[in-house]
A and B are shown apart, each in its own frame.
Chain A
Amino acid sequence: MDGITQLIAGFSSALTLSKLGYCFFGVMMGMLMGVLPGIGAMATIAMLLPVTFYVPPDAGLIMLAGIYYGAQYGGSVASILLNLPGTPSSAIICLDGYPMKRQGRAGPAIFLTTIASFIGSFIAIALLVGAAPAVARLALKFGAADYFSLMIVGLVAAASLTRFGIARGLAMSTLGLALGLIGTDVATGTYRYTFDNMQLADGLSVVAMAMGLFGVAEIIHMVGSRGARHGTVAKVSLRDLVPTKADLKQTPAPIIRGGLLGAVVGALPGTGASIGAFMAYGLEKRISSVPKKFGTGHVPGIVAPEAANNSAAQASFIPTLTLGVPGDPVLALMMTALIIHGIQPGPTMIAEHPEIYWGLVASFVIGNVLLLILNLPLIGIWVRLLQVSYRLLFPVVITLICIGVFAVGNSPFQVLQVVVFGIVGYAMRLARLEPAPVLLGFVLGPMVEENFRRALQLSRGDLMVFLERPASCAMLVFAISIVLFSLWTGHKNAPQKELSA
């Protein structure tokens, strides 16, 4: 009940005109960038990060969060109409959304995914109100060893849920941790891996890394390919949105299942919206009485993953804000924004800055209602936006990335870092290495090292400390079982996959 009272207080803070404005602006930008393929929430957030420096931290966070979940709404529109995911987490929507469009049912598909997004979001909001404060209270009892193990779980989970096998994922997490070493060692003040370049003394820029690995690499990939030259898009008007009775009948259960699954997946550290959506699709297909219908424009195949990616996007604020361990790369970026503002996400955040936490949760409610209102009546505008040609859009995005990165660090050197990470990110694409664990490892790196050091200092160098503390031990066992399970399933599926590759 405490949560409800707090939430009401949150509303009083989120319902001020300026915060409503930031919330509105955030969800609009998110929706817009989500609709446009090739520009995800990540690029948008990095471009708008400098904006948040000039507004109060709570308003900035509300705006950035709005971009993130707004993009989940918008992403499915492109998936359905163009068979091109607007955001990575809506890639799976293509499988049944695009066939629906081909059957002339794009309107109902968009309507149903919007409703699914909306309901999925509220499932996550319930978790944020009900469970997050309890998680934070629990986390207050965490020692350094527990934190270390928790972050290991996050890194292993992120590594295991990549598409190319756990070995590659773990290598990428480690790469990120290693990149996080660059700069000044917090404990001793030693410059590490700076190679006498003073500009590296503060470490690499997380924004530059995110923009290079995700934004620039994606744009290089897209330019000159199908996404850049899609043709005209069918018109969808408000009247086309009406679903059939049969559609409505098979909608509620998958939405609830997808939303719950997404919320749980999102609440785990290291796993974000994309994974939630993929798992929800898999689950629906497995329990369906007509699994063969999936991939042919089957309604549960769009609503379950769509509910899941929204609830996961919002639930991933739980580990980020209560534990200080971001759920996915977008949240890692957002956490950086908070830290720049002098707010350290972690178990004490809800207690120390209740207005920020509850204001954010309240803004989720407001933002989702706004999205529902914006999305359906304005559907014609969103669809027309898809005709904005990518060839004119990407130069603008490149420039805004440059400006954004420059403005965050006020340093041209960080713009050059984007160039380097763009090359690395594109090479990683070709080599089938996922960038998400790199970014997560990079953000967590200094914290992992600090807690590792502190835990061993307290235990006087006894490594058993990680197994003696029950929470730490349980998490390490969990991490190891993730690795073993991934290796086992990877091994089991190997021969068949080798053929298809």
Chain B
Amino acid sequence: MSNLPERRFLHHRHERFWVALILFAFGVFVAWHATSYELGSLRRMGPGYFPLILGLAQCLFAIMIFVSPQPPSDFDASEIPDGDLAAEKGNFQTKLRAFGFILGAMIIFAAMIRPTGFVPATAVATFVAGLAEPDNSIWDLVLLSLGITVFASLVFVVGLGVPVPLVAF
């Protein structure tokens, strides 16, 4: 697995440093922001007291990550030897494509659901998400979008009464 691009990042020898640094920075931010609220005392805690503790704890654990040994490599099913690992090598571009289309589909859904209603948002989101996989033909996706739109409209809007119009223009 170590020759996958994403795994290469993962096994980078500075990985521990960056993980610790980002979490440390997050802890500092939480603690710093907490001081803008009233702290109060242990006896009568203000809204800032607990966040301050959490921020400092986060810094402490970040340091712990930095000084503790490198964790064992990820156990997931893709690591169970199967002999065809070479064939399934994903590359950076496929991942980028997956990222873009899947997240894009969700952003489109969020943007469309109010102005256009349920049907257009669902159909477009399904279609765009499907583009994440290069093997999907346009026809596959058109049929898939149609099917899922009809199904979801019946179940969620007609059946359950989710308060959103089917089509709103």
A residues whose Cβ falls under 8 Å from a Cβ of B: 50-51, 53-54, 79, 83-85, 91, 94-95, 98, 163-168, 170-171, 174-175, 177-178, 181, 185, 187-188, 190, 192-193, 216, 219-220, 223-229, 391-392, 394-396, 398-403, 406-407, 410, 412-413, 415-416, 418-419, 422-423, 426, 430-433, 449, 452-453, 456-457, 460-461, 463, 487, 490-491, 493-495, 497-498, 500-501
Would B156 and A431 count as touching, CB distance under 8 A?
no
Would B72 and A83 count as touching, CB distance under 8 A?
no
B167 within 8 A of A: no
B169 within 8 A of A: no
Known interface pairs A398-B102, A461-B41, A463-B42; A178-B51 also in contact (CB < 8 Å): yes
Q: 1/0 per residue B55-96: CB within 8 Å of A?
A: 101100110110011111111111010101001101000110
B141 within 8 A of A: yes
Would B58 and A178 count as touching, CB distance under 8 A?
yes
Would B70 and A501 count as touching, CB distance under 8 A?
yes
Would B47 and A416 count as touching, CB distance under 8 A?
no
Would A402 and B133 count as touching, CB distance under 8 A?
no
| A-B CB contact pairs (8 Å), 6 listed | A50-B160, A94-B80, A98-B80, A168-B71, A395-B127, A419-B106
Would A419 and B136 count as touching, CB distance under 8 A?
no
Would B58 and A225 count as touching, CB distance under 8 A?
no
Looking at B10, B71, B148, the one whose CB has the most chain A CB atoms below 10 A away is B71
Would A497 and B82 count as touching, CB distance under 8 A?
no
A96: min CB distance to chain B, Å: 11
B168 within 8 A of A: no
B23 within 8 A of A: yes
A333: min CB distance to chain B, Å: 19
Closest CB pairs A-B (n = 10): A461-B43, A494-B69, A224-B94, A164-B71, A226-B88, A395-B130, A167-B64, A415-B110, A171-B61, A461-B42
Complex CA distance for A400 and B114, rounded to whole angstroms: 17
Q: 1/0 per residue B111-143: CB within 8 Å of A?
A: 101100000011001110110111110001100
A236: min CB distance to chain B, Å: 20
Chain B residues with a Cβ closer than 8 Å to the other chain, count:
87
Would B54 and A178 count as touching, CB distance under 8 A?
yes
Known interface pairs A91-B77, A226-B84, A490-B68; A190-B47 also in contact (CB < 8 Å): yes
The residue that B58 contacts in the complex, of A174, A402, A407, A413, with Cβ under 8 A, is A174
Would A396 and B144 count as touching, CB distance under 8 A?
yes
Known interface pairs A412-B111, A412-B114, A422-B103; A497-B69 also in contact (CB < 8 Å): yes
Name the residue on B nearest A398 (C-beta).
Answer: B129
Residues of B within 8 A of A229 (CB): 88, 135
The residue that A192 contacts in the complex, of B37, B43, B156, with Cβ under 8 A, is B37
Complex CA distance for A164 and B72, rounded to whole angstroms: 6
The residue that B110 contacts in the complex, of A165, A412, A495, with Cβ under 8 A, is A412
Complex CA distance for A494 and B43, rounded to whole angstroms: 42
Complex CA distance for A113 and B163, rounded to whole angstroms: 43
Q: A225-B88, A461-B43 are in contact. List 10 more A-B contacts (CB 8 A).
A: A83-B82, A91-B77, A177-B54, A224-B134, A391-B130, A395-B129, A419-B106, A432-B71, A495-B69, A497-B73
The residue that A171 contacts in the complex, of B64, B130, B162, with Cβ under 8 A, is B64
Residues of A within 8 A of B130 (CB): 391-392, 395
Known interface pairs A51-B160, A54-B161, A175-B58; A422-B102 also in contact (CB < 8 Å): yes
Complex CA distance for A501 and B76, rounded to whole angstroms: 14
Would A415 and B106 count as touching, CB distance under 8 A?
yes
Residues of A within 8 A of B41 (CB): 461
Complex CA distance for A226 and B77, rounded to whole angstroms: 10
Would B44 and A457 count as touching, CB distance under 8 A?
yes
Residues of A within 8 A of B11 (CB): 501
Q: 1/0 per residue B35-48: CB within 8 Å of A?
A: 00110011111110
Name the residue on A nearest B45 (C-beta).
Answer: A453
A298: min CB distance to chain B, Å: 15
Looking at B43, B95, B110, the one whose CB has the most chain A CB atoms below 10 A away is B110
The residue that B50 contacts in the complex, of A84, A224, A395, A453, with Cβ under 8 A, is A453
Q: 1/0 per residue B145-156: CB within 8 Å of A?
A: 100100010001
The residue that A456 contacts in the complex, of B42, B97, B145, with Cβ under 8 A, is B42
Residues of B within 8 A of A167 (CB): 61, 64-65, 68
Known interface pairs A163-B74, A398-B125; A224-B44 also in contact (CB < 8 Å): no
Would A498 and B102 count as touching, CB distance under 8 A?
no
Would A50 and B162 count as touching, CB distance under 8 A?
yes
Known interface pairs A412-B113, A415-B106; A174-B61 also in contact (CB < 8 Å): yes
Residues of B within 8 A of A490 (CB): 68-69
Complex CA distance for A45 and B14, rounded to whole angstroms: 38
B113: min CB distance to chain A, Å: 5
Known interface pairs A170-B64, A490-B69; A402-B125 also in contact (CB < 8 Å): yes
Name the residue on B nearest A414 (C-beta).
Answer: B110
Name the residue on B nearest A184 (C-beta).
Answer: B47
Would B45 and A91 count as touching, CB distance under 8 A?
no
Complex CA distance for A415 and B114, rounded to whole angstroms: 12
Complex CA distance for A300 and B115, rounded to whole angstroms: 56
